[in-house]
Amino acid sequence: MGEIPDDATHWDTGDWIEWHRTSLGVDHRPCAAAAQDQQAQMTALHINLLRAAKGYFEMTGHHLPVYPQIAHVHAAIFCDLPMDGPDRTCAQTGVEVACLAPHSPSDEVEVDLSHDFVTLIVVKISDDFTAQARMISRADLPKSKDGPYRVAWQALPHTF
């Protein structure tokens, strides 16, 4: 294998990394760009939450009660939403986020149609602890504002 030239670069997670920076040995300093990038921080949080949930399940056979939070972080990353805190409601954001947990007996979520939302985002965390999201407009759901309505994963049109 040939030697890498000093001026060679490669693309890594949104940054150009110069080979000569790493050819002198392992650089243990944290990347300043990642610490300042909220998208990178949320992505790291998302990955860590999924790993923690998977590790706990593999060790104990039980689920950590973190799947709704994982769904909100996933929706924030992939649907470009602000992170919701405990004081934010779907009436303020216009988005209702629902979660399908791994090893769930059903591929349906229950949505309260009395909530005032514009978009429903359903995040499915698969049995292998990967996540994907689908969304549907409130206009595509029944016009009724009466209580719960079940929505099947397969009925959701847009995948992220």
Q: Name the 3-class secondary structure at 63.
A: coil
Given pLDDT bands bounded at 50, 70 and 90, which one contains residue 160? low
Per residue in 58-104, pLDDT tens?
A: 999 999 999 999 999 999 998 888 775 555 555 566 889 999 999 98
DSSP string computed for 4-35: PPTT-EEEETTEEEEHHHHTTS---SPPHHHH
Given pLDDT bands bounded at 50, 70 and 90, which one contains residue 28? low
Position 7 scores a pLDDT of 56
Q: Can you say how many angstroms the Cα of residue 26 is from the centroid of all Cα atoms in its chain?
A: 31
Q: How far apart are CA 91 and CA 146, in angstroms?
A: 17
In one-letter notation, the amino acid at residue 27 is D
Q: How far apart are CA 34 and CA 57, in angstroms?
A: 29
Position 61 scores a pLDDT of 95
Q: How far apart are CA 52 and CA 55, in angstroms?
A: 5
Q: Do 102 and 129 contact (CB within 8 A), yes or no?
A: yes
Neighbour tally for 69: CB within 10 Å: 16
Position 79 scores a pLDDT of 83
Neighbour tally for 145: CB within 10 Å: 10
Position 81 scores a pLDDT of 80
Q: Do 118 and 95 contact (CB within 8 A), yes or no?
A: yes
Q: Do 95 and 121 contact (CB within 8 A), yes or no?
A: yes
Neighbour tally for 129: CB within 10 Å: 17
Cβ-based burial of 142 (10 A; exposed 0-12, middle 13-18, buried ≥19) = exposed
